[in-house]
């Protein structure tokens, strides 16, 4: 029997934002692999084995998924949002690099709606001009790299989507990030705090960076630091199509 490995994005939380392609893959899977809260979003059914794991063990989880597929299972590795954005797709390819015996497996990556696009759509169009995305977690890269990227992105006047802004174990990172953004001259820019977008806990706030407080973000928040041309119209916030 020939197995397969599908790496799928479940979107930001709402059922309506799961793509039909991802629903079909979940419907024909024999095994679901992923971080426990994401796996819990897949409806249980007969014939479906669920492998829920810890958040930190990404490469181990990816290797387990490849092994199952090599044994003939139809495995779906799930991420929230998009699997290629700070998520499992890279981990699977990293595991594949270390395991050449599995390189002929049938693998697909199915995109999902990532948090920054959902957040942006809720408030208007803050990513309508050039933008970048930065993961504030320093689990997998040095903090000095994060600081440098925040500084240079501000200097270049990108809108900046910040993923993983704040954890209980590392609250000082986001405090420092706000300081860096102010030092880099962004105090007048709008900042959007979009929490748990597309779920019942959704909350969206927009303030100037000058008034932004670290406690406005938690691990369920996506932060968008707008570019300097971004403005309000009615209840909306948008980046104009042209920039200086
Ligand atoms: N692959 C995911 C991102 C995983 S990193 C994606 O494409 O969206 C986890 C971070 O994503 C969280 O700390 C938060 O910053 C952001 N995030 C994920 N879902 C979110 C949601 N529903 N609302 C706001 N932010 C979210």
pLDDT tens by residue, 31-40: 999 999 999 9
Please report the atom of ligand 1 found closest to the CA of residue 83: 1
The three-state secondary structure class of 102 is helix
Tell me the CATH number at 142: 3.30.950.10
Ligand 1 neighbourhood includes 196 CB (under 6 angstroms)? yes
* pTM: predicted TM-score of the whole model, two decimal places: 0.96
Instruction: Report the pLDDT averaged over residues 193-209.
Output: 98
What pLDDT is recorded for position 243?
A: 77
Same domain? 49 vs 162: no
pLDDT tier at 235, thresholds 50, 70, 90: very high
Ligand 1 neighbourhood includes 132 CB (under 6 angstroms)? no
What pLDDT is recorded for position 1?
A: 66
CB 123 within 8 A of CB 236: yes
pLDDT tens by residue, 139-171: 888 999 999 999 999 999 999 999 999 877 778
Percentage of the chain surpassing pLDDT 90?
A: 91
What pLDDT is recorded for position 233?
A: 97
* Tokens 């959902």 found at: 118
- Of the residues 113, 146, 161, the one at which a domain ends: 113
Same domain? 54 vs 133: no
Same domain? 130 vs 234: yes
What pLDDT is recorded for position 169?
A: 73
Instruction: Report the pLDDT averaged over residues 183-205.
Output: 97
Strands (E), the chain: 4-9, 31-35, 49-53, 74-79, 106-110, 124-125, 131-135, 159-163, 190-195, 203-208, 221-225, 231-233, 236-238
What pLDDT is recorded for position 136?
A: 95
Same domain? 64 vs 128: no
Same domain? 196 vs 230: yes
Q: Which of 16-20, 166-170, 178-182, 216-220 has the lowest mean pLDDT?
A: 166-170
Give 201's DSSP letter.
Answer: T
Structural domain boundaries, residue 190: 116-238
- 154 contacts: CB under 8 Å, gap ≥ 6: 160, 180, 181, 184, 185, 186, 225
90 has pLDDT over 70: yes
Separation of CA 220 and ligand 1 centre (Å): 6
Separation between Cα atoms, residue 181 and residue 196, nearest integer Å = 24
Alpha-helical runs (H) found in 36-126: 36-39, 58-70, 88-97, 115-123
Number of domains in the chain: 2
Ligand 1 neighbourhood includes 221 CB (under 6 angstroms)? yes
Q: And the tokens for 220?
A: 């369920």
Residue 244 belongs to a domain: no
CB atoms near residue 97 (< 10 Å): 9
Ligand 1 neighbourhood includes 238 CB (under 6 angstroms)? no
Tell me the CATH number at 38: 3.40.1010.10
Please report the atom of ligand 1 found closest to the CA of residue 166: 13
What pLDDT is recorded for position 141?
A: 87
Residue 243 belongs to a domain: no
Separation between Cα atoms, residue 137 and residue 239, nearest integer Å = 27
pLDDT tens by residue, 28-68: 999 999 999 999 999 999 999 999 987 778 899 999 999 99
Same domain? 72 vs 142: no
């Amino acid at each position: 029997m020939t197995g397969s490995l599908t790496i799928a994005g479940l979107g930001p939380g709402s059922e309506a934002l799961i793509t039909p392609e991802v629903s079909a893959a979940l419907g024909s899977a024999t095994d679901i692999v992923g971080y426990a809260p994401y796996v819990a979003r897949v409806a249980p059914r007969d014939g479906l084995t669920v492998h829920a794991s810890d958040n930190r063990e990404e490469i181990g989880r990816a290797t387990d998924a490849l092994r199952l597929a090599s044994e003939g299972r139809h495995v779906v590795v799930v991420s929230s949002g998009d699997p290629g954005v700070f998520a499992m797709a890279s981990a699977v390819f990293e595991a594949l690099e270390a395991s050449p015996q599995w390189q002929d497996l049938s693998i697909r990556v199915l995109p999902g709606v990532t948090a920054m696009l959902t957040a942006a759509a809720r408030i208007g169009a803050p990513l309508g001009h050039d933008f970048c995305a930065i993961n504030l977690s320093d689990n997998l890269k040095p903090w000095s790299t994060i600081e440098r990227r925040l500084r240079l992105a501000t200097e270049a006047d990108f809108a900046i989507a910040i993923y993983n802004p704040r954890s209980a174990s590392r609250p000082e990172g986001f405090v420092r990030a706000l300081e860096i953004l102010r030092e880099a001259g962004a105090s007048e820019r709008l900042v959007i705090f979009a929490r748990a977008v597309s779920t019942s806990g959704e909350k969206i706030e927009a303030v100037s960076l000058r008034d932004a407080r670290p406690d406005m973000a938690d691990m369920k928040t996506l932060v968008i630091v707008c570019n300097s041309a971004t403005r309000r119209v009615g209840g909306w916030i948008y980046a104009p199509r042209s920039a200086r």
